[in-house]
């Protein structure tokens, strides 16, 4: 994650827990978004049960939390809008620079 945050390459990351119902509901939309954005925006996910220190570092307090990394080496931008495919893709494209 440190490399992702520091390398100025845009990454849209989903922080999740496998037991979280909201995460499970988002999964098909997230996969579709990743497929449609392939080659434009990197899309990834972090399992906070498996990597709790990563999630603590980025102050993840609830699931899923979606953040865009890599724009100009600055702080990640948290996604706070609805979880529709259109809204997610618009955010990713807008913040990918």
| Three-state secondary structure call for residue 44 | strand
* Closest residue by Cα to residue 44 from 1, 97, 93: 1
* Closest residue by Cα to residue 66 from 46, 42, 41, 49: 46
- One digit per residue, the tens of pLDDT, for the chain of length 97 reads 555 555 667 899 999 999 999 999 999 999 999 999 998 899 999 999 999 999 999 999 999 999 998 766 678 999 999 999 999 999 999 988 7
Query: Is residue 4 in some structural domain?
Result: no
Query: Is residue 1 in some structural domain?
Result: no
Per-residue pLDDT at 1: 59
Per-residue pLDDT at 8: 62
Query: Is residue 2 in some structural domain?
Result: no
Query: Model's pTM, two decimal places?
Result: 0.91
Residue 69's domain is classified under what CATH number?
3.40.30.10
Q: What is the residue whose two structure tokens read 């925006």? A: 41
Query: Is residue 54 in some structural domain?
Result: yes
Query: Is residue 42 in some structural domain?
Result: yes
First to last CA, the chain: 19
Query: Is residue 40 in some structural domain?
Result: yes
Please give the Cα distance from 64 to 47 (Å, whole number): 10
For residue 76, the 8-state DSSP code is P
Q: How many domains does the chain have?
A: 1
Q: Which domain holds residue 30?
A: 11-92
Per-residue pLDDT at 72: 64
- Give catalytic residues, as residue numbers: 20, 23
């Amino acid at each position: 994650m440190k490399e992702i945050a520091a390398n100025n390459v845009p990454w849209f990351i989903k922080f999740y827990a496998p037991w979280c119902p909201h995460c499970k509901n988002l999964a098909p939309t997230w996969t579709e978004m990743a497929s449609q954005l392939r080659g434009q925006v990197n899309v990834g996910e972090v399992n906070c049960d498996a990597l709790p220190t990563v999630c603590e570092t980025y102050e993840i307090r609830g699931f899923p939390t979606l953040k865009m990394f890599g724009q100009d080496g600055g702080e990640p931008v948290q996604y706070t809008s609805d979880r529709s495919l259109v809204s997610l893709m618009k955010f990713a494209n807008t913040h990918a620079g």
